[in-house]
Structure 1
Amino acid sequence: MPWVPAAVVVADTLVVAGARSPGWWATVAYAVAVVGAVLLRRRLAPAAFVVAVGLALVSGVGVVLLAWSAYGAGRAVVGRSGGAVVVGAVVGGLVGQVALQPADGPVVRTVVSAVTTYLVFAVLPLLAGRYLAQHERLVRHLRWSRDLVADRERLDERLRIARAMHDSLGHRLSLVSVQAAALEVADDLPDRHRQAVGQLAGAARGALDELYDLVGTLRGAVPGSAAPGIEAVDGLVAGQRAAGVPVTLVSSGVPGRVGALAGEAAYRVVEEGLTNAAKHAPGRPVTVSLAWEPDSVLVRVTNPVDGARSAGGPGGFGLAGLDERVLAADGMLRHGRTGDGFSVLAMLPTVPPDLEPARPATRRTVTLGGAIAVSILVVVLLAMVTGVRT
């Protein structure tokens, strides 16, 4: 909700102004710091949590920003570096809360009160945000697993159909072809009938060849087969260049990981685009681009076309089948004229980074968390020395 950040700034500033009664300049400076932490939370939630912990230690009562930023950090942290920053801030803030308690009262009661307050306004929102983030990640993982199971079932069904066609229809067509060939070489067959039988034999052999091609296509989708993926686009483009087609491959962004269906769909998009370009604009330059986004990859094939050649458009069953393949991979396909050229564009999903297997913490991660904790303790010491927090 867009009004929440503004409400956090106002509420936290009013709480500090009412409880600590600082001067107007100190109140304005604190409000500016809170605004900075709120703006920082949009892009770097762990860093905003560190700032909120420091402001809470300095002010002693700035818990509104602390709770809100802790919840946001719990929702946003997915990597080891972010986790180290959050853990370091939690440890440093807890030690700082204990160190800043006055020594003239009951020590145990004071420490317990400080720790309880810190747990309620910092650790509890952090854990709540982390729980919701893990829940959403689990839901995405279950959906991803469900899609994989559905894809496996579709592939198994295609294999079953391929077997049935090969065993039944292939056998019958083979018999028709053999019987037609036997009639074709018979001595007592009239010439008029021999010609018809020859056409029948040729049709049967052609149908049998097409059947075997179709069965091979269906079997090509079996799990474990060497279906080309997006990593094979470079080789495809290189093969077109070797054949004399002027193809330019442009890649931008940080490459991510794509699933098997999305990778094969990306390869087929490039393959179909190059085929259409060779058919409708032979010898003209073709541009293949791969634009990597945080959660998707954009695959585009663009080529100039002649008006006379493209009157009917480069579409057909190839693009229709390509659209079905892209949709099966949870992607989106667009194709059509773009100025004086023709473009085929597909947007395909990449595997979310938080579905990658977790890796153990390294020395660098631990060092980062320790540095954050020490930095917060330095802020605490400065607050004690300068008298900002007594």
Structure 2
Amino acid sequence: MREALARFRLLVLTVRRPPERVRRLLTWWDGRVELVLLDVAVAAFAIWFTLASGDPADPHPPLHLPAVLVSCAALLVRRRWPVPVLALAAAAMAADATLLPLTVGLYSVAARFGLGWITGVAALGTVLVVLVPHLQRDYQSPMVLAMFLGLFIVGPALAGLWMRQRADLLAVLRDRAEEAERTRTLLADQAVFAERRRIAREMHDVVAHRVTAVALQAGALSIQAPDERTAQTAETIRSVSATALEELRGILRVLRDEAPQAGLTPVRNGTDVLASVDELVEDVTATGARVELQLPDPAPAIAGEVGRAVYRVVQESLTNAGKHAPHAAVEVRLATADDRLDLTVTNQLTPRSSDVPGSGYGLVGMRERVELAGGELHTGPTGDGRFRVSARFPVTATPAQEAT
């Protein structure tokens, strides 16, 4: 029982959502299998009703059976060519066919063209086809004739007009829903853009001002330093502050949807990413930190998103090591294996940390950036008193591999 029910559900799903290839074959029926089945059922019922109606003893014209089969089978294409189907059903009336194909054809014309001259001409022609033989026989009362016309002519025409009006109303409602969705999306984009501009203003007014003040004070200290080591440290602070201002300027351009200028960010594509990491390590080392860097040889070709992620992970890891384990040795290792790049940053854990406050979103930001680049990130303490940040990225072939 369950297997039969599952098969029935699968059949229903197949009928309601046919494959794309089947939908292309059913363009006349709007790609819906149920409409095809409905038209097949209507054509089969029309053939059965026409052949089963009437007196078997009453002789039919020689072309009665072919006319019935052709006019009823034409109902399969009534959605595509309703007017030729109606004309064919009217011609079949001369071979003593029933009114059912003619009625379905008139309904199809009204449903396809709506209230217009085509529907009016089709309805008038159908009335003439129906009335002329009955008026010649002169055995129908006016009341019966009116009921006959209402049942087989007026009723199907009104039903077709109603279906056309319903389809037009659904199309209008669908367009309004799509327009409302586009308007909602536009308003959401405008709200996001306004919020981005607000954040850009706050970053410019607060962060940029503070970093600029640090750079200026460090520059003044490097000039008036009492000894060479203090001057070197102040120059390092000034250089890092200037780099931070350049990066902040690039972020502000992104927030304001402005095209970034070349050379604003130290993170570059290709092997220059590793050079940027080397410069970053040199800047951190100049502040007195102990950092050991190991780069792969030959250097891999790193895509832009992966390169930025590598740079930011190293930057954030060195920052965290300086805040949570000051003066501890840090090891930065980049290695390639097959089609991946492995990045590992390890530092010794210390009982004391610096008083520099953090945002609390460093590891979260690293994980998000690594995942956006298609990589994996693992962080946490190891068993030998160390803290490790391990990231793995997909990379392209190395220059040596491309040469082969």
User: Could you state the TM-score of these two structures normalised by the residue count of structure 2?
Assistant: 0.45
User: Could you state the TM-score of these two structures normalised by the residue count of structure 1?
Assistant: 0.46
Larger radius of gyration: 2
More RCO (CA 8 Å, sep 6+) = 1
